[in-house]
Amino acid sequence: MDGTGKDGSDTSAKIPAPDLLADLLADDLEAVNLLIRARMASKHAPRIPEVTAHLIEAGGKRLRPMLTLAAARMLGYTGSDHVKLAATVEFIHTATLLHDDVVDESARRRGRQTANILWGNKSSILVGDYLFSRSFQLMVETGSLRVLDILANASATIAEGEVLQLTAAQDLRTDETIYLQVVRGKTAALFSAATEVGGVIAGAPDDQLRALFDYGDALGIAIQIVDDILDYGGTSAVIGKNTGDDFRERKLTLPVIRAVALASAEDRAFWVRVIEKGDQHEGDLERAMALLAAHDAIGYARKSALMWVERARQALNNLPANDLRTTLSELANYVVQRVS
């Protein structure tokens, strides 16, 4: 960690925090990748590793498994169960991506065609179920009932959040409280479980487990808000090639919720038409972005993301100071840099 200053944003301008984290955890990450490859195999159904490899080897950042590894190592863990838990977390994540892409009818992810497009929805549903079962086997192998409890609860929160998003997404009454429930489900629950189980396996006391949970929770929420902002072109508000996916899918994300809360009657009628009724025409995305700008809804969402980043960094104060803690703090800064 030579040359890494305390100011995360300065340092990560040189080496991005996820890469710093990957360097610090290089051996563990290699073990995780080996375990993932071993456990995604299927003696009887070659379709399973085929679909899984497409997604898992497409260059995801392995952010969630790194959080589990970092939490355990930061607390001095010297065993090998953290590798199993990191693979568990990645399998759960991959399973939810497979199902999400079917539910959202997505065609592209990580720059490639989605599994549902390449192999069909049926394979995506069933391979997702298989990976979830495999994750379950892996965590049972650690023999920790506390770990199992945390991951079972996280799984239920994830699934509930997805159903909530399905039913609440196009309802203009969705407020920031419901938004936060959805975000905890779709994103933050797996982040907070990933950090907490790393602590559990390291035998951390309850106050440290709470700190790990809070860090993962706040980091996950910040990441989701940043994604929401980028979907409307980020702080530059320029329409890029990926701008407006959430708009077309009629998702009530934080910028839109803010703009709806401040909307005039006329503007509200616009939101009812394009989000609730899904009646969208040319020029509507531009009008939506103009409304977001008029109410500084992107700036509001950005402030919210920065607040969650600050909460994540604060939570780390209750954990031992070392290179990993410093890098996790930089990681929190890193995730909001794209909208700074």
Would you say 11 or 155 has its CB closer to a second copy? Answer: 155
Footprint on this chain of a second copy (rule: CB under 8 A): 42, 44-48, 96, 99, 102-103, 121-123, 125-127, 129-130, 132-134, 136-137, 140, 143, 145, 148-149, 152-153, 155-156, 158-160, 162-164, 166-167, 178, 181
Would you say 161 or 220 has its CB closer to a second copy? Answer: 161
Nearest to 55 by CA among 94, 26, 86: 94
Task: Spell out the residues 6+ positions from residue 65 whose beta carbon is closer than 8 angstroms to its own.
Answer: 29, 32, 86, 87, 89, 90, 194
Are the beta carbons of 169 and 257 closer than 8 angstroms? no
State the Cα–Cα distance between residues 142 and 27, nearest whole angstrom: 20
Are the beta carbons of 170 and 276 closer than 8 angstroms? yes
Would you say 30 or 129 has its CB closer to a second copy? Answer: 129
Would you say 97 or 331 has its CB closer to a second copy? Answer: 97
Q: Minimum CB separation from a second copy for residue 252, in Å?
A: 15
Q: Minimum CB separation from a second copy for residue 144, in Å?
A: 9
Q: Minimum CB separation from a second copy for residue 178, in Å?
A: 8
Q: What is the DSSP letter of 235?
A: G
Distance from first CA to last CA of the chain, Å, rounded? 25
Instruction: Work out the number of other CB atoms within 10 angstroms of the CB of residue 300.
Output: 19
Q: Tokens 């990645």 correspond to what residue? A: 90
What's the token pair of residue 10? 């300065």
The residues with which 77 forms a beta bridge, in sequence order, are: none
Would you say 121 or 322 has its CB closer to a second copy? Answer: 121
Q: What is the DSSP letter of 272?
A: I
DSSP 207-228: HHHHHHHHHHHHHHHHHHHHHH
Are the beta carbons of 226 and 336 closer than 8 angstroms? yes
Would you say 209 or 336 has its CB closer to a second copy? Answer: 209
Q: Minimum CB separation from a second copy for residue 149, in Å?
A: 5
Would you say 153 or 264 has its CB closer to a second copy? Answer: 153
Q: Minimum CB separation from a second copy for residue 116, in Å?
A: 11
Q: Minimum CB separation from a second copy for residue 130, in Å?
A: 4
The residues with which 113 forms a beta bridge, in sequence order, are: 108
Q: Tokens 């290089």 correspond to what residue? A: 26
Q: Minimum CB separation from a second copy for residue 156, in Å?
A: 4
